[in-house]
Amino acid sequence: MDTLLAGAEWWFLERLEYEGALLTIEVTEGIVADEPQDVTIEGAGSVSGASAIEVTPQSRHVRIEFGGVLAYQVTDESFAAAEYGATQGGVLAHHDNSAYLQHVLEQSLMPDLVDDTVHHYSLGLADDVIDIITTNPPKLMSFTPNSNP
């Protein structure tokens, strides 16, 4: 499902836009620097041999579009709880019967008003976790920054 995102462990959120039940998310690949360096963290000590993760001119850019969006949330990855249960995918994952999906269904009128199957997808990014409740699978496409969607 997420072959465009494969081969990279680090992706950063660049843009998120929601309009008319269409959620558009643009992410940029983070590349691990070749040269490790020592990093000092004020008040916490130092880490030797750390490698920076940077967005470079060689970074890939991917646009992900979700149509039929019913709900979404963005969580700082530092505060995101792991989702348990059956999951398919990597950076972009499809969750079967997740706790988040159950919560959204229990706290909304979706079960009474939505006839289509409702799905939970998530994007596990370097700094954010984005959960999407939708009736449609995502569409992924590579793009060049500053080009029109």
Q: Do residues 40 and 48 make contact, with C-beta atoms less than 8 angstroms apart?
A: no
**Distance, CA of 26 to CA of 120 (rounded, Å):** 19
Average pLDDT, the chain: 88
> Percent of the chain beyond pLDDT 70?
90
For residue 122, with 0-12 CB atoms within 10 Å meaning exposed, 13-18 middle and 19 or more buried, which class applies?
Answer: buried
**Distance, CA of 90 to CA of 101 (rounded, Å):** 18
Domain boundaries, the chain: 10-142
For the beta carbon of residue 38, count every other beta carbon within 10 angstroms.
Answer: 9
- In the chain, the N- to C-terminal Cα span, in Å, equals 21
pLDDT, tens digit, 9 for 90 and up, residues 71-90 = 999 998 777 666 655 556 68
Instruction: Confirm whether pTM is higher than 0.75.
Output: yes
pLDDT, tens digit, 9 for 90 and up, residues 25-54 = 999 999 988 888 887 778 888 888 888 888
Query: Under DSSP, is residue 14 helix (H, G, I), strand (E, B) or coil?
Result: strand
